[in-house]
Amino acid sequence: MVENDITVWAVIMAVIGGAIRVGTPFIFVSLGECLTEKSGRINLGLEGNLVMGAMVGYAVAYLSGSPWLGVFAAAASGCALGVLHALLCQHKSVNDIAVGIALMLFASGLAFFYGKPFIQPSAPRLPSFGLGNWSESPIVRAALDINALFFIGVLLAPLLSWFLLRTRWGNAVRVVGESGDAALAMGISINRVRLLSTMVGGGLAGVGGCYLSLYYPGSWSEGLSSGQGLMAVALVIFARWNPMYCLYASLLFGSAAALGPALQSVGINWGYYLLNAAPYFLTLIIMIITSDRRGTLSGMPGEFAK
Amino acid sequence: MLEALDIGKSFGEVSALNNVSLQLKSHKVHALLGENGAGKSTLVKCLMGYYRPDSGQILFNQKEVVIDSPQRASHLGLGMVYQHFTLIPNMTIAENIVLSRPNLPLIIDWQKEIESLQTKMTNMPFQIDLHRPVRELAVGEKQKVEITKQLLLDTKLLILDEPTSVLTPTEADEVLGKIHQLARNQQLTVLMITHKFREVMQYADQVTVLRKGRFVATATVSEVNPQILSDMMVGGESLSKPPTRTLQSARIIKLRTENLTVHNDQDFAVIKNMDLEVAQGEIVGIAGVSGNGQKQLVEALAGQRPPHMGTIFAHDKKFCADLNTITRHKFFCLPEEPLKNACVGTLSVAENLVLRKFNRPPFSRWGMLRRGVIRRNAEALIQQYRVRTSGPEQPIAALSGGNVQRVVLARELAQEVSILVVANPCFGLDFKAVADIRAQLLAARNQGAAILLISEDLDEILELSDRFYVISAGQLVYQTTPAQADMNTIGQYMAGH
């Protein structure tokens, strides 16, 4: 009986820890995509930004010895890719989805090419805070060993909400995303707003990428990303373009992803591969439950409805 | 105050404006008259910085200015209410108004902004609920918000594009009276694009007439009359004469609703238990101020919105709007804002004309479209319905409002029509287009179509319908015929008393 309690406890702790550990990159990428989409553009290339950020972050951290310098470099590389996306999409009759896919393949390829020499050496890892150190239990300690980037991500979500609703710039982003005609009438430069939104969004995705290489799993390899960049795009729709929901959705997604390994760690091997697909099932099911057949998705930027 | 001298503008080979001059005097109301495609919109867009004129100059307070962006125009104090509204549907009225304010602080204190808006609202001609999202508003209400927004923005020169086409006559008088008063009080200069002579005669000080991109004349209103203006506008062309009404022998009900209840997006009943009948060869009007459920009623009849309760019957059979049923019952619909609701803007005029039947002979054979047949069909209809376009291949979004409406009408009326639902068919159209469209509707009626005409223009209802209802808060509250109509009674029912 006591043993059973401990098992359940261990699974719960592992899921919470996993939500934080696995969910963090999703937070950054989905917030970045949320910002970009709020301006009326879709950047499917964030998967490429993520891989590039992972490589650049790891390389710079290794060469400089400072993981934080790596984070900045990753953000910068993401911004650069974002700018490239925005500039390409400014041209008439260029489709943002197609450009996104092209840039995703381009950035991943480039990252693999330049990342070859960094597969072997080990870079310094990002620091983490042992919030569970009060506890005797190694399970609690492991689960609550939380990375600094997670806290930044958690603060970023309300900050982005506040930015979009309460600042002039944030509202300019919303206006551009809702109606190009209205933006023109208000004298807002559509191209500039989209350029900046895609740039910052790309930068956030880069940071999400370097979390993968600098913290968890914590090394650079070509198989590092398992489509987190693409899933984050789906998360934004799932979160109805609301930054706070992006945060919750990322954590939910992370915890679902942690369920399989957590059960395995306590000796339950049943359905391991099936449980690894849990996040995807979960997304589909919630999408179906929350869909509204009568109209467009609430919260969807108006420019997508055209 | 503002002078445009010898403005010329062409798009490709089409010359839209040819040496047009316009002189606006401070604190006067200036009317700009002209048919569709006469170049009024182009001229105004040059003033507002959307287009750069190819030739000519613009003087502002006797100094030459280059207006190269809408922002520059608004710095000069120029503001415009567009015919295609520029409100953001997913935001509230308050958000729309606050965000268009110049010198917005970097961090917006919404509570303070809305409070100050509310104080200013007391001086406005319309009282609007600032917290409603724009997407719920009907055209008439959007128009009011647009005008209010400009008034709140401290615009010095206000340009109004067809400002009253969706207002009830009383509302129109209220708005224009207010605007006229602001000009009298030396607070505003107004340039108003309009088609209604009554408004020109009653509210404008000066009038400029354009025809086919050319300047015809500028006159002081007190020195002209509607006949002179009409001659200047049309230049001797004749208007469509409405056909005389033919009487129907038997009364056969073609469209019927029973206990129809329709909800809006917020799941609130906006059409309540409506029973309605339209017979063969009859135009039944539904008059009312916008926002009383008309929009949702049209959507329900067009199959865009499932009814919450009740049934729609076509030819006494339960009707659900799939393509086959629509075709079988010859049940067609002309929604309001046709460019948005009944066309694919990027497709050509020819393609839009066969949207409903391109997959059937003669327009396709063995699964392939027959471009030649589609083009010839378009050419014939363009001529018959007097659509002004550069050709069948022009994207329909490039056409002016009246011509889009003509295309849609051509598509719906070109075949035999049994039941027709029409919403605000003449919104924003000039009087020649209006005459054309009304004549077509009457002709369809005489051929036996059952027509339900939902319009916010009471004059239109009185002119076209055989009998009509007044709608208020989602219910038909009054029924009468144009012959027996008493304006006072109707006004009271429209106002919800």
B414 and B307 part of one domain: yes
Q: How much is the mean pLDDT over chain B?
A: 85
Chain A nearest C-alpha distance from B267 (Å): 10
A 136-165 near B (Cβ less than 8 A): 165
A chain contacts of residue B87, beta-carbon cutoff 8 Å: 179, 182
Q: How many domains does chain B fold into?
A: 2
In a domain, B142, yes or no: yes
Q: Which residue of B has its CA nearest to A187?
A: B71
Among B48, B90, B299, B343, which would you mutate to test the A interface (most chain A Cβ atoms within 10 Å of its Cβ)? B90
Among B44, B51, B88, which would you mutate to test the A interface (most chain A Cβ atoms within 10 Å of its Cβ)? B88
Contact B86 A178 (CB under 8 A): no
* pLDDT at residue B326, as a whole number: 83
SS3 category, B230 = helix
B206 and B310 part of one domain: no
- Helices (runs of H) and strands (runs of E) counted in chain A: 13, 2
* pLDDT at residue B135, as a whole number: 85
In a domain, B243, yes or no: no
Instruction: Give 3-state DSSP helix, strand, coil % of chain A, rounded to 5.
Output: 75, 0, 25
B chain contacts of residue A167, beta-carbon cutoff 8 Å: 106-108
* pLDDT at residue A2, as a whole number: 56
In a domain, B143, yes or no: yes
Which of A171, A187, A295 is facing B74, going by the closest CB pair?
A187
What radius of gyration do chain A's Cα atoms show? Answer: 20
Is residue B55 within 8 Å of B251, Cβ to Cβ? no
pLDDT above 90 (res B38): no
Of the three residues B202, B234, B266, the one that is the final residue of a domain is: B234
The 10 Å Cβ neighbour count of residue B373 is 17
B313 interfaces chain A, CB cutoff of 8 Å:
no
Dist CA A180 CA A190 (whole Å): 7
Give whichever of A49-53, A293-297, B184-188, B211-215 has the largest mean pLDDT. A49-53
Largest CA distance in chain A: 69
Chain B nearest C-alpha distance from A165 (Å): 8
In a domain, B241, yes or no: no
In a domain, B28, yes or no: yes
pLDDT above 80 (res B390): yes
In a domain, B246, yes or no: no
Taking alpha carbons only, the member of B16, B47, B11, B14 closest to residue B34 is B16
Provide the Cα torsion A108, A114, A120, A121; round to 10°: -120
Residue pairs between chains A and B whose CB atoms are closer than 8 Å: 59
* pLDDT at residue B426, as a whole number: 81
Chain A nearest C-alpha distance from B156 (Å): 16
Which of A167, A184, A187 is facing B108, going by the closest CB pair?
A167
Domain span at B224:
2-234
Q: What domains are defined for chain A?
A: 2-305 (1.10.3470)
Which of A165, A187, A299 is facing B69, going by the closest CB pair?
A187
B328 and B474 part of one domain: yes
Of the three residues B234, B263, B294, the one that is the final residue of a domain is: B234
Dist CA B148 CA B151 (whole Å): 5
Taking alpha carbons only, the member of A221, A228, A215, A202 closest to residue A67 is A215
B88 interfaces chain A, CB cutoff of 8 Å:
yes
Q: Would the pTM of this model clear 0.95, i.e. be above it?
A: no
B184 and B214 part of one domain: yes
Contact B110 A166 (CB under 8 A): yes
B104 interfaces chain A, CB cutoff of 8 Å:
yes
pLDDT tens per residue, range A152-206 = 999 999 999 999 999 999 999 999 999 988 888 787 889 999 999 999 999 999 9
pLDDT-based confidence at residue A297 (cuts at 50, 70, 90): low
Q: Which residue of A has its CA nearest to B75?
A: A187
Contact A295 B265 (CB under 8 A): yes
B209 and B293 part of one domain: no
* pLDDT at residue B241, as a whole number: 67
* pLDDT at residue A306, as a whole number: 60
pLDDT tens per residue, range B347-361 = 888 888 888 788 777
B261 and B227 part of one domain: no
User: What percentage of residues in chain A have a pLDDT greater than 90?
Assistant: 53
Contact A182 B86 (CB under 8 A): yes
Dist CA B255 CA B156 (whole Å): 50
pLDDT tens per residue, range B360-384 = 778 888 888 888 888 888 998 888 8
Q: How much is the mean pLDDT over chain A?
A: 88
B320 and B363 part of one domain: yes
CATH of the domain at B382: 3.40.50.300
A296 interfaces chain B, CB cutoff of 8 Å:
no
What is the predicted ipTM?
Answer: 0.83
* pLDDT at residue A74, as a whole number: 96
B272 and B197 part of one domain: no
Chain B nearest C-alpha distance from A184 (Å): 7
Of the three residues B181, B206, B234, the one that is the final residue of a domain is: B234
B chain contacts of residue A191, beta-carbon cutoff 8 Å: none
Residue B98 tokens read as: 């606050």
Q: Which residue of A has its CA nearest to B97?
A: A186
* pLDDT at residue B319, as a whole number: 84
Burial class (CB in 10 A: 0-12, 13-18, 19+), B407: buried
Q: Which residue of B has its CA nearest to A173?
A: B99
B363 and B479 part of one domain: yes
- Residues found in chain A: 306
B299 and B175 part of one domain: no
Contact A187 B110 (CB under 8 A): no
Element holding B467 (H helix, E strand): strand B467-472
B212 and B348 part of one domain: no
A107 interfaces chain B, CB cutoff of 8 Å:
no
Which of B50, B87, B107 is facing A182, going by the closest CB pair?
B87
In a domain, B244, yes or no: no
B100 interfaces chain A, CB cutoff of 8 Å:
yes
In a domain, B242, yes or no: no
B97 and B188 part of one domain: yes
pLDDT tens per residue, range A92-140 = 888 999 999 999 999 999 999 999 999 888 889 888 888 888 888 887 8
Dist CA B197 CA B204 (whole Å): 10
Contact A187 B89 (CB under 8 A): no
* pLDDT at residue B166, as a whole number: 63
